[in-house]
Structure 1
Amino acid sequence: MWWRSGAGSLTEVRWAIAATALFAAGGVAQLADAPPWLWWTLYLACYAAGGWDPGLSGLKALRDKTLDVDLLMVVAAIGAAAIGQVFDGALLIVIFATSGALEAVATKRTEDSVRGLLDLTPDQATRIDDSGGEEVVAAADLRLGDVILVRPGERVGADGRVAAGASDVDQASITGESMPVDKQVGDEVFAGTLNGTGALRVHVTRPASETVIARIVAMVEQASATKARTQLFIEKVEQRYSVVMVAATVALFAIPLALGQNLQESLLRAMTFMIVASPCAVVLATMPPLLAAIATAGRHGVLVKSAVVMEQLADVTHVAFDKTGTLTEGRPHLAHLRPMPDPATTPEGGSASGPGSEADRLLALAAAAEQGSEHPLGRAIVSAAHHQGLRLPAATDFASLPGRGVRAHVDGQVVEIGSPAHLLDETAPGDAERARAVVAELEDDGHSAVLMLLDGRPAAVLGLADRMRPDADQVVAHLTSLTGAGPVLLTGDNPRAAARVAEQAGITDVRAGLLPEDKVTAVRELQQHQARVALVGDGVNDAPALATAHAGIAMGRAGADLTLDAADAVITRDELNTVPAVLALARRARRLVIVNLVIAGTFIAVLVAWDLLGDLPLPLGVAGHEGSTVIVGLNGLRLLRNAAWRRAAATTVATPTRRQT
């Protein structure tokens, strides 16, 4: 959760809460006609609780010859108390203490997120020495040319190439691929990826400081630092406003005094100016709509980490999606089962999606053989059989063959299920040719093909694929209508699988086979064309691009820790249709901010002009100032209603919008 900030920001939150409580107690005491010393004491305690930190920061900034608005508001509050308006001064303190606490919490970047990513890489690795012996060494001590042993179920200790052995490796943390990848001699493996059922000897090709996962950490830190520099413009505005306001207040006090006006009148006019010109209404013009939108989005499953992020979401012009776990469910499902024709008895045909005794029989045999497997594809086959209510016969002599598949005896037949590339080499040429045609057809359609042999002959080809989320196409259509540009698909998966999902979702701009740095490059390419990109992803491999994007949105249910911390917003319920809803809500919040700024600016301009050109009574000035504050505050809080989310979540697209890339 974004609330888990460092000790410093938590202290600011506590002081802001204390200041608010003291202010409320003082107001109650004043309304109840308590002795003045009591509510004055409570208000002054509010000053101390909420004003000491911004006041101290302002004095430090003044020592460096800069003037910020925090110090200005503390001075305004003290000035208000000096002329008897202690309530107004306390209100200023509460507003700015609360604002400062929210900013401190919202802008935190914890080192825990980076540490969580580094935990993916094992601290130790088994190195093979020149004599063939094994020694356990620190992963950071591995050098180019070392050979390490990666046993089944272990994480790979370094980037390298397979020198011996075969296995399936889950590298979703790096590439985002939903399916484990078969690795053989010569194939590249990455540090932090999870080895499957076979043992591998890996020739180290990169030192620990240059692994893909180490580069991910560096890119997240770099992108986060770059994003923080966007606050410089706000600091410049604060500085100029503070200088102008202080100069105007001093002039308004000193010039009439020099011209013979008495001290009390000069001070009263200057303090009135300080109060009516203070930006309380301006602050409330911005924060309530954004914070109300954050609260409303949070109730509906979207955690937006700060008001700054809500503003960034309102500016989004392009949306980019990761594929696995974002547009799709992130796990394989059996999509097709193609029985191989037996020239003597069986006609070609059959599919897992339709009834058929032969297809059902083969699926039951395959699931029986896979029941002892821990491979994700095997679990998908078993799940499909259970879903169809098939009875699974008993399997004996089960064996898992690393890099090949599984073998078992079922109903008196030898059932083998595994990689077509390996199993077809052991079958008759004619059978192999027919099976290769079916395998090629399924793979061209974006499926992972698995071959099933019965007693050494091809019996079926099973096509497995990651299933698209049911509302993905509606989300894409809504985003296209909302932003005027079609979403982009950025994925580490293979082009065929990416193209299949993109076609189903209605996405035309597809970029596949991307490593984490490639996703960052793709986001930056869009930004070079003035696009403000919101990236939606879920894996560690998405973290650098999430941090680089104008707004990063993470799928929270299965998202990695670093991904959740690098993202600006988190979809806690994994509901993809909340993406266009939160963008629409952010745009409405921005419109309310603009309306509120107009209201606040008009009040300030009228009251300041009245004070400068006429004779503005202090009570009327305070009433106008506080009135504008109440108006903009209540206007912003309209977004707290559930109707605001329902309006934002409306997904009706009146007319198709031409997709752009």
Structure 2
Amino acid sequence: MWALPEIRWATIATVLFAAGGLAQLAGASAPVWWSLYLACYVTGGWEPALAGLRALRERTLDVDLLMIVAAIGAASIGQVFDGAMLIVIFATSGALEAFATARTADSVRALLDLAPDQATRLDADGTETLVPAAVLVVGDLIRVRPGERIGADAVVVAGDSEVDQASITGESLPVVKTAGDEVFAGTLNGTGALTARVHRAAGDTVIARIVAMVEQASATKSRTQLVIERVEQRYSIGVVVATLALFTIPLLFGADLQSNLLRAMTFMIVASPCAVVLATMPPLLSAIALAGRHGVLVKSAVVMEQLADTTVVAFDKTGTLTTGAIRVADVHPAPSTGLDEEGLLRLVAAVEMHSEHPLGAAIVAAARDRGLQLPSADRFRSAPGHAVEASVDGSHVQAGKPALFDATGPAQADDLTLAQVRRVVADAHDAGRTAVAVVIDGRPAGVVVLADHIRPEAAATVAALATVTGTPPVLLTGDNAGAARSLAASTGITDVHAGLLPEDKVERVRALQQQGGRVMLVGDGVNDAPALATADLGVAMGRHGSDLALTSADAVLVRDDLATLPPLIALSRRGRRVVATNLVIAAVFITVLVAWDLLGHLPLPLGVAGHEGSTVIVGLNGLRLLTDAAWRRATRSAAA
């Protein structure tokens, strides 16, 4: 962070400003605190000055240059403190913007680390050669061993395994891959070995396209500016022209140079947008601080202002509306086995103790949560993508895909017939759950059903957001349609889009925007990052969100609490109302002081007092949003 020059200079300027203020309050001699303030001018002002001069060279005038001129003008008439304060405000703003930009760039580059640098290529004579993944071309054969990351987008030609492709699709469980299936660069192979034929060059892989989409969206995303920035060009020109006119015109008619300069500088001081800047920033920064205390990190004042415009919220599924943790939901033992739920779970968990599969880990965790003592398992065997088996308490226990039941006949099913078992499996699949078949000694013994649990606050949040925004939320997920429909039914979402790759999510977000919506997307994974950057506002889940998602997002739910979203939008809208009130107050003060200076004689001390007084008033008004009462009011407003 400190490698960024903007942050170093802003920090030094702030320290010098604080030191100057302390020296002035302590009664130090004027040269001491003047020197500290002037050093603050140099360290904090040279970058905004350069930015203003560049803008001037392009025949535009912005607040950066006006602030520097106003700061110099303030120092020229003895008000060096006011000028130094303006310098610190603008230096800090520039530093924060530079920091955010650098973090985004670093995170995008880090995403490329998901794809391995090397891959094992199978040559024409069958030999294996370790080559850089970047040199692979379409048509090359690659060998992927257990536990390796896949080096290219390819199609499996031999072998079978389970591949964790959560980084691409967001699916919470590994996906079985056999001949003819597509695999993606950067995804993690499971326990099987695969031979695959490359069908996309390194620069065209899905992971490379994610990087490109994030960079493009970050570069082209329209920047909604703060209220003051929307009028800065005209305001700056107006103040400069008026100051020059106030100084030069009286001189043409013989006015005294010193008194005329004092009057012009007084005008620039009272007309400078210091109060207007503070009219905008304190309410938004106070709202940011308040949101932070309630578990929401809002990255900038611009974002806090934009939140008020949200008209539609789109959710990712896995890890966002759900916890992303697979757990045992139901255990269905066959009555013919004489086992109850815990008895069946105990046997299956004993076998799964030796498995590396996430489903096995969830089954073992469920058994331990129930306090079950697990027996030892002998002669463990695993068929990746199909089943695991072992000998437990003298019985041969198999657990795996429902296809296991195909090896048993109806006559062996006793009370729980094969049709009934399959009905349990079908019901689980229809509900978007995963069914693990259990066979003991060649006979169907039951089904263990696993599911990704929905967050407790999800349904209430969806309903509240529909009320706050006036539009029902949308579900955008890379998961299968069955799981998506089940979750949507449980949370009250009616607009569902499933099976989406990262670029598909981006297209859906753009479609919502083209329909006139101001889109907030809530997600957590690498696969969500392009859509988070494309949306008008991106919100990431903080506890388990990927680095790229956290960086691409405009706000972060630090505690993964979806219930904070509706009051966050309501708080933003209240913050905007406070900003509008402050701007009216600042405008009245500026108008009165400027009119006084133009039409009469405004004493400099009174002008400074009025200028500083307006700054204090709008600052204190904005600080009202720091109180917990403001959050409670926002919560009530969101629930109304």
Shorter-chain TM range is over 0.9
Q: 1:624 aligns with which of 600, 610, 628?
A: 610
Moved more, 514-523 or 129-138: 129-138
Alignment match, 2:562: 576
- 1:421-446: per-residue Cα shift (whole Å, max 9, x none)? 3x234222665544333221221121
| d(CA) in 2 for partners of 1:87, 1:201 | 71
Structure 1 vs Structure 2: percent identity of aligned residues?
Answer: 66
| d(CA) in 1 for partners of 2:2, 2:491 | 38
**Alpha-carbon deviation of 1:389?**
2.4
| 8 Å contact from structure 2 (residues 224, 306) kept in 1 | no
Please show how residues 72-471 of structure 1 align to structure 2 within 5 Å. Answer: 72-227=66-221, 230=224, 237-340=231-334, 342=336, 358-421=340-403, 423-428=404-409, 432-471=418-457
Partner SS for 1:101: helix
**Residue 298 and residue 9 in structure 1: after superposition, are their counterparts in 2 closer, same or farther (change >3 A)?**
farther
Partner SS for 1:577: helix
- 1:43-80: per-residue Cα shift (whole Å, max 9, x none)? 33332333233223333443444333222222222222
Alignment match, 1:530: 516
| 8 Å contact from structure 1 (residues 607, 621) kept in 2 | yes
Partner SS for 2:521: strand
Q: Which amino acid aligns with 1:58?
A: G
| 8 Å contact from structure 1 (residues 556, 573) kept in 2 | yes
**Residue 608 and residue 652 in structure 1: after superposition, are their counterparts in 2 closer, same or farther (change >3 A)?**
closer
| d(CA) in 1 for partners of 2:628, 2:423 | 55
| 8 Å contact from structure 2 (residues 210, 527) kept in 1 | yes
| d(CA) in 1 for partners of 2:2, 2:194 | 41
| d(CA) in 2 for partners of 1:185, 1:294 | 52
Q: Which amino acid aligns with 1:20?
A: F
| 8 Å contact from structure 2 (residues 17, 84) kept in 1 | no
Q: 2:633 aligns with which of 639, 647, 654?
A: 647
**Alpha-carbon deviation of 1:106?**
4.3
Q: Which amino acid aligns with 2:595?
A: A
**Alpha-carbon deviation of 1:339?**
2.7
| 8 Å contact from structure 1 (residues 22, 45) kept in 2 | no
| d(CA) in 2 for partners of 1:653, 1:639 | 19
**Residue 438 and residue 41 in structure 1: after superposition, are their counterparts in 2 closer, same or farther (change >3 A)?**
closer
Moved more, 457-466 or 531-540: 457-466
- 1:194-252: per-residue Cα shift (whole Å, max 9, x none)? 11111111111111111111100000000000126556998774333222211111111
| d(CA) in 2 for partners of 1:106, 1:583 | 22
Partner SS for 2:378: strand
Structure 2 regions of 5+ residues with no counterpart?
none
- 1:393-421: per-residue Cα shift (whole Å, max 9, x none)? 22111111112120011121111111123
**Alpha-carbon deviation of 1:120?**
0.7
**Residue 38 and residue 593 in structure 1: after superposition, are their counterparts in 2 closer, same or farther (change >3 A)?**
same
**Alpha-carbon deviation of 1:191?**
1.0
**Alpha-carbon deviation of 1:125?**
0.8
**Residue 607 and residue 135 in structure 1: after superposition, are their counterparts in 2 closer, same or farther (change >3 A)?**
same
Moved more, 119-128 or 613-622: 613-622
| d(CA) in 2 for partners of 1:377, 1:21 | 58
Q: Which amino acid aligns with 2:325?
A: R
**Alpha-carbon deviation of 1:271?**
1.1
What is the Cα-based RMSD across aligned positions, in Å?
Answer: 2.2
**Alpha-carbon deviation of 1:529?**
1.4
Partner SS for 2:147: coil
Partner SS for 1:119: helix
| d(CA) in 2 for partners of 1:584, 1:511 | 27
Q: 1:27 aligns with which of 3, 24, 27?
A: 24
| d(CA) in 2 for partners of 1:141, 1:179 | 31
| d(CA) in 2 for partners of 1:444, 1:545 | 28
| 8 Å contact from structure 1 (residues 336, 464) kept in 2 | yes
| d(CA) in 2 for partners of 1:142, 1:96 | 49
Alignment match, 1:553: 539
**Residue 554 and residue 611 in structure 1: after superposition, are their counterparts in 2 closer, same or farther (change >3 A)?**
same
**Alpha-carbon deviation of 1:341?**
5.4
Q: 1:39 aligns with which of 28, 33, 41?
A: 33
| 8 Å contact from structure 2 (residues 170, 477) kept in 1 | yes
- 1:569-611: per-residue Cα shift (whole Å, max 9, x none)? 1122222222223222222222211111111111111211222
Count of residue pairs brought into register by the alignment:
635
Q: Which amino acid aligns with 1:615?
A: H
**Alpha-carbon deviation of 1:648?**
3.1
Q: Which amino acid aligns with 1:27?
A: Q
TM-score, normalising length from structure 2? 0.94
| 8 Å contact from structure 2 (residues 120, 129) kept in 1 | yes
- 1:349-398: per-residue Cα shift (whole Å, max 9, x none)? xxxxxxxx522221111111111111111111112222222232221111
**Alpha-carbon deviation of 1:124?**
0.7
Partner SS for 1:163: strand
Partner SS for 2:500: coil
**Residue 559 and residue 380 in structure 1: after superposition, are their counterparts in 2 closer, same or farther (change >3 A)?**
same
| d(CA) in 1 for partners of 2:449, 2:39 | 70
Q: 2:43 aligns with which of 42, 49, 69?
A: 49
1:512 matched to 2:498: yes
| d(CA) in 2 for partners of 1:203, 1:56 | 54
| d(CA) in 2 for partners of 1:235, 1:300 | 29
**Residue 236 and residue 313 in structure 1: after superposition, are their counterparts in 2 closer, same or farther (change >3 A)?**
closer
- 1:99-142: per-residue Cα shift (whole Å, max 9, x none)? 33334334545422112211111111111112222111111111
- Structure 1 consecutive aligned stretches of length 4 or more whose deviation exceeds 6 Å: 232-236
Q: Which amino acid aligns with 1:82?
A: S
1:612 matched to 2:594: no
**Alpha-carbon deviation of 1:260?**
2.5
Partner SS for 1:168: strand
Alignment match, 1:12: 9
Partner SS for 2:115: coil
- 1:431-480: per-residue Cα shift (whole Å, max 9, x none)? 55443332212211211122111112221122211001111112212222
| 8 Å contact from structure 2 (residues 9, 43) kept in 1 | no
| 8 Å contact from structure 2 (residues 185, 206) kept in 1 | yes
Partner SS for 2:221: helix
Q: 1:539 aligns with which of 522, 525, 531?
A: 525
Moved more, 385-394 or 229-238: 229-238
